[in-house]
Chain A
């Protein structure tokens, strides 16, 4: 029993422990970030890299990739058609034995699930929700997708907004579980898997069509902006808190080097952004013009690299 006289001292001790914990916990982050400070980039896009001047001031840095749901929405809004042949085969579920392949394919199946749902493919959506569940369970992500989730999905298949909400919730459950359990590296791999699946679907749908005035091709090329974030996010997770290299992250960084080379051929130039705040709708418009340029040959090469990467991921 702790007497009342100990209580203020005890509280102070707990507070100090918390402080120590936060300093130690943040130490790894800061160490990484300090190393990155001068060289970090997003350089292709930002003319002056001193946007990162203040990076050491921030306690926490987040790199946000389009989620599987947003990726699927971006493809659909660019005028894509639904093609079930492009989805990862459900039979492949049993092939994924390593943590890396499970994580990549959790992202891949979740993007496929989102894509099928946006095109009202009801039975396919249920099947891909089950595949995502298998991957999540194989990664010991508990309660992200349970029987209740599947039942909820089945009961709302005719309500697309509700279906999207369910998918969003399951992805939030997985990503929050991984991050809160110090498995940020796995969370990053899941995101990369989902993002590559979106690129793959879009690239296959463009096929041999001309890329001039092709919205879907533009969507693929714009992913150069997110590729910079992929690089930063993976670098941020290259070492764990004990300073050991995460072999899955390191191998993934190596795997995406050809994609980097292919995106390096894409030029994106943007004019200054002007903000037009609409007081009636409360929705501001960021006005600017962007010019994206790439040769047809370099676009073809980009498609080839994406296809190879995705083939490697689903094997």
Chain B
């Protein structure tokens, strides 16, 4: 009986942790990462996920000429600084934030519309913790007319 109760408590905790993590990720994107887009207007799309050290995410999007864009990529405090690259259809790396002080944002404009890939990586940090760190990573876009 005692064991069953313990399992129920643990499962309850587990579900709560997941819901809390999801809500936290949403709050992180809206309240923290979105601020990085100012003075650009956020497009309203939501792209965020919980990632662990060493994990990667990718995003595909078409960017249009005559607009100025800002990409903001943020990780929650538990994570090391997030690495990201912007890659074109021919796999050329157009921007790598590792060459730019691990900036969280990149502003750009296009002479012609292009489909690009944003590749995001949570590097393995130097923490001495037994377990790899996990946290929310948000990819957000702002735009304005040129």
Given that A77-B66, A286-B94 are contacting pairs, would A67 and B43 also be in contact in the complex, using a CB cutoff of 8 Å?
Answer: yes
Q: Is the CB of B89 within 8 A of A270?
A: yes
Interface pick from A84-92, A145-153, A167-175, A200-208: A167-175
Q: Is the CB of A290 within 8 A of B113?
A: yes
Q: Is the CB of B113 within 8 A of A222?
A: yes
Q: How many A-B residue pairs have CB under 8 A?
A: 190
Given that A17-B14, A60-B57 are contacting pairs, would A68 and B114 also be in contact in the complex, using a CB cutoff of 8 Å?
Answer: no
Q: Is the CB of B45 within 8 A of A225?
A: no
Q: Is the CB of A286 within 8 A of B131?
A: no
| A119: interface (CB < 8 Å) | no
Nearest CB of B to A89, in Å: 24
* Chain B 8-31 interface residues, beta-carbon cutoff 8 Å to A: 9-11, 13-14, 17-18, 22-23, 25-26, 29-30
* Bound form: Cα–Cα A273–B10 in Å: 53
Q: Is the CB of A180 within 8 A of B44?
A: no
Which residues from chain A contact B127 at a C-beta distance below 8 Å? none
Q: Is the CB of A172 within 8 A of B30?
A: yes
Q: Is the CB of A180 within 8 A of B23?
A: yes
| A214: interface (CB < 8 Å) | no
Contact pick for A287, options B30, B61, B111, CB 8 Å: B111
Q: Is the CB of A222 within 8 A of B64?
A: yes
Which residues from chain B contact A164 at a C-beta distance below 8 Å? 41
| B97: interface (CB < 8 Å) | no
Q: Is the CB of B109 within 8 A of A283?
A: yes
| A47: interface (CB < 8 Å) | yes
Contact pick for A21, options B18, B45, B117, B143, CB 8 Å: B18
Q: Is the CB of B95 within 8 A of A175?
A: no
Given that A172-B44, A175-B46 are contacting pairs, would A74 and B64 also be in contact in the complex, using a CB cutoff of 8 Å?
Answer: yes
* Bound form: Cα–Cα A15–B55 in Å: 17
Q: Is the CB of A62 within 8 A of B57?
A: yes
Nearest CB of A to B10, in Å: 6
| A228: interface (CB < 8 Å) | yes
* Bound form: Cα–Cα A47–B91 in Å: 10
Nearest CB of B to A57, in Å: 6
Q: Is the CB of A73 within 8 A of B143?
A: yes
* Bound form: Cα–Cα A285–B94 in Å: 10
Q: Which residue of B lies closest to A284 (CB)?
A: B108
Contact with A along B47-62 (1 / 0, CB 8 A): 1111110011111111
Q: Is the CB of A168 within 8 A of B43?
A: yes
* Bound form: Cα–Cα A301–B105 in Å: 41
Q: Number of contacting residues on A, CB 8 A?
A: 71
Which residues from chain B contact A275 at a C-beta distance below 8 Å? 94-95
Q: Which of A2, A73, A281 has the most CB of B within 10 A?
A: A73
Which residues from chain B contact A290 at a C-beta distance below 8 Å? 112-114
Q: Is the CB of B30 within 8 A of A283?
A: no
Which residues from chain A contact B26 at a C-beta distance below 8 Å? 176-177, 180
* Bound form: Cα–Cα A60–B34 in Å: 20
* Chain A 12-47 interface residues, beta-carbon cutoff 8 Å to B: 13-15, 17-18, 21-22, 42, 45-47
* Bound form: Cα–Cα A167–B52 in Å: 32
Given that A2-B9, A283-B108 are contacting pairs, would A176 and B60 also be in contact in the complex, using a CB cutoff of 8 Å?
Answer: no
Q: Is the CB of A273 within 8 A of B43?
A: no
Q: Is the CB of B110 within 8 A of A42?
A: no
Q: Is the CB of B13 within 8 A of A14?
A: yes
Nearest CB of A to B125, in Å: 17
Q: Is the CB of B67 within 8 A of A172?
A: no
Which residues from chain B contact A191 at a C-beta distance below 8 Å? 45
Contact pick for A62, options B42, B58, B114, CB 8 Å: B58
Contact pick for A285, options B14, B29, B49, B111, CB 8 Å: B111
| A265: interface (CB < 8 Å) | no
Q: Is the CB of A225 within 8 A of B25?
A: no
Q: Is the CB of A286 within 8 A of B109?
A: yes
8 contacts between A and B (CB under 8 A): A18-B17, A47-B89, A65-B45, A70-B44, A175-B45, A176-B48, A272-B90, A273-B92
Q: Residues on B close to A: CB < 8 A?
A: 6, 9-11, 13-14, 17-18, 22-23, 25-26, 29-30, 34, 41-52, 55-62, 64, 66-68, 87-92, 94-95, 106-115, 117, 119, 131, 134, 139, 141, 143, 145
Task: Kindly list the 5 A-B residue pairs having the minimum CB-CB distance in the complex, ordered from nearest.
Answer: A171-B44, A290-B112, A64-B61, A62-B59, A60-B57
